[in-house]
Structure 1
Amino acid sequence: MASDGEDMNMTPTESEVSAAETENESEDNLHIDAQSDEETDEESLEVEEVPVTSEEVEMDELLTQLEDYAPTMPDALTLSIMQGCGFGAVDPRIVRIVSVCAQKFISDIANDALQHCKTRTTNIQHSSGHSSNKVDKKNPKDRKYTLAMEDLLPALADHGITMRKPQYFV
């Protein structure tokens, strides 16, 4: 049985002695390996503390503030849209952050449209020369504005969104 790697000229007694030696060596190796595993476990328990950065502190503060805040865009709607786009199980904190970002985006567009409306109405009043109207005598803060497509289109264009009326409305 030379395939076992044994020498063909060995006697059965010599064979048993060499087998016992290899068993002892393997037990010693196991004992050494067990000691080295214990040492690596102890070494892995020693964790070096990393100082907290100001960005991490600000993120923690933001997340705690968002827990109590209810954005205009409901979390259920945001989660539904995110799952429709391919997001799987999403952390509720991320859903809340996306909801707040969507609210900010919509409010920026609405604010820009309001500014376009104010500019447009001011330009119309000055170009027509009518300053004797009752509406013109009102305080500008009391004036009510209506969101119109002619104000919304430039506001959307400022944010990179191109919008056109369908041909059947023209």
Structure 2
Amino acid sequence: MHPKLPDFLASLEHYVPTVPDEVTQHLLKLSGTDCQDICLVRLVSLAAQKFVAEAAHDARQAHARRQKQPLARLKEAGYTARDKRPVLTSEDLAEALQQYGVNVKRPAYFANNIGRS
């Protein structure tokens, strides 16, 4: 065991995660784990928060790569040259999540789902 691990686990007692403890405990119960150790519950919350933050960052990078496409291709996708606001699309998120082994597919009835799966 790493010498700093007990100190880290003890610090989780005072940590307030973004995801409330009750939500994490509920999701753990749904997955078949009944965990009463608050430090472990907060460790799971922290890991989930890190995953979501990294996926959002990667999706933002995917968006930046998409914005570097030729203007004609962006117009085909429905973007205007005047609109400079970043818009996170489901394609950006799917590309980011694919790096983590999460495969995101649109349902067949999704709007603008022509020729895509």
Higher relative contact order at CA 8 Å, sep ≥6: structure 1 or structure 2?
A: 2
The reply to whether residue 150 of structure 1 matches residue 91 of structure 2 is: yes
**TM-score normalised to the size of structure 2?**
0.76
Query: How has the CA–CA distance of structure 1 residues 61 and 120 changed in structure 2, closer, same or farther, with 3 Å as cutoff?
Result: same
Any unmatched runs of 5+ in structure 2? 75-80
Moved over 4 A (4+): none
Structure number with higher helix proportion: 1
C-alpha distance in structure 1 between counterparts of 2:67 and 2:36, whole Å? 45
The corresponding residue for 1:31 is: none
Q: What letter matches 1:167 in structure 2?
A: A
Larger Rg: 1
Tell me the CA shift for residue 119 of structure 1: 1.2
Any unmatched runs of 5+ in structure 1? 1-52, 136-142
The corresponding residue for 1:67 is: 13
Query: How has the CA–CA distance of structure 1 residues 69 and 90 changed in structure 2, closer, same or farther, with 3 Å as cutoff?
Result: same
Query: How has the CA–CA distance of structure 1 residues 111 and 89 changed in structure 2, closer, same or farther, with 3 Å as cutoff?
Result: closer
The corresponding residue for 2:69 is: 123
The reply to whether residue 165 of structure 1 matches residue 111 of structure 2 is: no
What does the per-residue CA deviation read over 1:42-84, in whole Å, with 9 as the maximum and x for residues that have no partner? xxxxxxxxxxx7x13x112212332222121111101001112
Q: What letter matches 2:51 in structure 1?
A: F
Tell me the CA shift for residue 159 of structure 1: 0.7
Query: How many residues were matched structurally?
Result: 105
Task: Report the aligned-residue RMSD.
Answer: 2.4
**TM-score normalised to the size of structure 1?**
0.54
C-alpha distance in structure 1 between counterparts of 2:32 and 2:91, whole Å? 35
Which range moved further: 108-117 or 61-70? 61-70
C-alpha distance in structure 1 between counterparts of 2:66 and 2:35, whole Å? 46
